[in-house]
Structure 1
Amino acid sequence: MTRTSGGRRRLALVYRGPAALLGCPEAVADLLTSGPWNLDVRYTGPREALPLSAASLSQAVLYAQPGGGTLDSAYRFLRPMRRAIRAFVRGGGHYLGFCLGGYLAGTTPGFGLLPGDTDQYIATVGATVHDEGSTVVRVTWRGSPRHVYFQDGPVFLLEAGADARILARYDNGAPAALVAGFGAGRVAVTGPHPEATDDWYADHGLPVQHTLDLARDLVESMWRE
């Protein structure tokens, strides 16, 4: 899974377990492996060689939380790690969240990593999607309209004056992807799934969108912004 390049590779942990859906951790791992970030990408979770623990996080520079099922169910599995994940990011680590991982960066419930909270995009005024099924949503990413795989992703509710860089907005103007500070660390989250592979679209009869450039921009922005 790892990529060879010059210098010592930095450990990146991708959660895989009951709080994620099949295919979601693998898509995130492939994204991180294929990029130019010199990462040693490993899965972490209850059935992985590296358990999700404070000790594992202390060796890593990045923790990625992929898409999954419902927020309440996922948080029941991950709540025991809330303090360790917060300490990891506060101390200079990086948190990368996709869809459910974005919800979990919020507070109700979640890890409390954002300068604000999250809600369902489909529940916001002016939303262009109105149910929890898989679809394609239009966002404006760094000023350009793009269509991205979407399945009941979050909208990000930021406090006034928040330390955050909004990378993308939904058509109703609500933040769809952003990078924010938390202590000495950084948090990068997205409601849609720019990491989605072609089979995600095909499985639901959706037109395939090629959006890995957006996923890479999210990761790159986490390092530099």
Structure 2
Amino acid sequence: MTRGRRPARAAAALGLAAALLATSAGCAAPRADDRSEEAAPAPTAPAAAPASADPAHPLAVVYRGPAACDGCSEAAQDLLERNGFTVRFIGPDEDLRFGPSALAGAALYVQPGGTNGQEVTTAWGLLRRTPGFRPELIRDYVRGGGRYLGICMGGYLAGDPGYDLLPGDSGEYIKTPGATVTDDEDRLVDVAWRGQRQPMYFQDGPYFDVDGPGADVLARYTNDRIAAAVTTYGTGRVAVSGPHPEAPADWYRSYHLPDVSATGLGLGDDLLKTLVTPPPPEVGTSR
């Protein structure tokens, strides 16, 4: 299945862009057991740096290419723009290419959902063969204070094989005991988002085994596996979601699903807000 591309919505300021400025310097099929690394691509000329964003609209760089499905990058774009971001795509067929300066000035990097039936190792191999791409570009960017948003395949790729940004790893939800969705069809999945039951658009998304003081769990599947979380990596932050909070109404219509896009987009807003807003400082407790 491939989803058609959609025009972007007009941006709606929800305060997230201002919060980020104040603080900042699909989906996949089952992952294969074989985790062998793909050969790294040959060196290429450095990419030109992205144009500076309007100070009121921080720059979000969104991957678009063969490791993402048609429409997934654009759905992420819509979610970002409604939250006040300027969006620029990066990929093998985009004006912005991977290279040492590709994320200069970017407030956020987004790895969207992947194509149905595409294994995690396949998507990772496609990324690694992209001219100019090196995993260290993303790792160093986040470690130095950047933000990473991974949705579905992007959530898988936050683990291993992938960027290895998580204090733990990602795994395939549909194969976990007690999963309410056990196939790779496009469906709704129930999660408890901040304790409230919410159905969300889902297509073979991951769960996350993350732990540590920097892990903020936003949602869990009904079998208690983590469905969405925000964690730290170096001085940066990482947000991941197994379900698709960015899913527009036409995705639901295409698969004859009840349209809960308005609720889902609200959860996407919450995920972004949590990602870009720094956690409160830890308060010491007396013993």
Unaligned runs of 5+ in 1: none
- C-alpha displacement of 1:162: 4.9
State the Cα RMSD in Å: 1.7
Identity of paired residues, percent? 49
Specify which of 135, 156, 161 is matched with residue 82 of structure 1.
135
- C-alpha change, 1:4 and 1:207, in structure 2 (3 Å) is closer
Of the two structures, which has the highest relative contact order with CA contacts closer than 8 Å and spacing of 6 or more? 2
Q: Aligned partners of 2:98, 2:187: CA distance in 1, in Å?
A: 31
Letter in 2 for 1:214: L
Q: Which has the higher strand share?
A: 1
Matched, 1:23 2:78: no
Q: Is the 8 A contact 1:115 1:162 kept in 2?
A: no
Match of 1:119 in 2: 171
Q: Deviations over 1:65-86 (max 9, x none)?
A: 1101321111002234211100
Counterparts of residues 123-162 of structure 1 (less than 5 Å): 123-159=175-211, 161-162=212-213
Matched, 1:221 2:221: no
- C-alpha displacement of 1:39: 2.1
Count of paired positions: 221
Q: Deviations over 1:147-167 (max 9, x none)?
A: 0000000000124x3520000
Q: Which secondary structure state, in structure 2, belongs to the residue aligned with residue 87 of structure 1? A: helix
Match of 2:122 in 1: 73
Q: Which secondary structure state, in structure 2, belongs to the residue aligned with residue 215 of structure 1? A: helix
Matched, 1:170 2:208: no
Q: Is the 8 A contact 1:54 1:85 kept in 2?
A: no
Match of 2:238 in 1: 187
Matched, 1:62 2:108: yes
Q: Is the 8 A contact 1:89 1:183 kept in 2?
A: yes
Letter in 2 for 1:135: R
Q: Aligned partners of 1:217, 1:4: CA distance in 2, in Å?
A: 15
Q: Is the 8 A contact 1:13 1:43 kept in 2?
A: yes
TM-score by length of 2: 0.74
- C-alpha displacement of 1:54: 2.9
- C-alpha displacement of 1:3: 4.5
Q: Aligned partners of 2:229, 2:89: CA distance in 1, in Å?
A: 24
- C-alpha displacement of 1:58: 2.2
Match of 1:52 in 2: 98
- C-alpha displacement of 1:60: 0.7
Flag as ranges the 4+ runs of structure 1 deviating above 3 A: 1-7
Which is greater in Rg? 2
TM-score by length of 1: 0.93
Counterparts of residues 85-100 of structure 1 (less than 5 Å): 85-100=138-153
Moved more, 75-84 or 1-10: 1-10
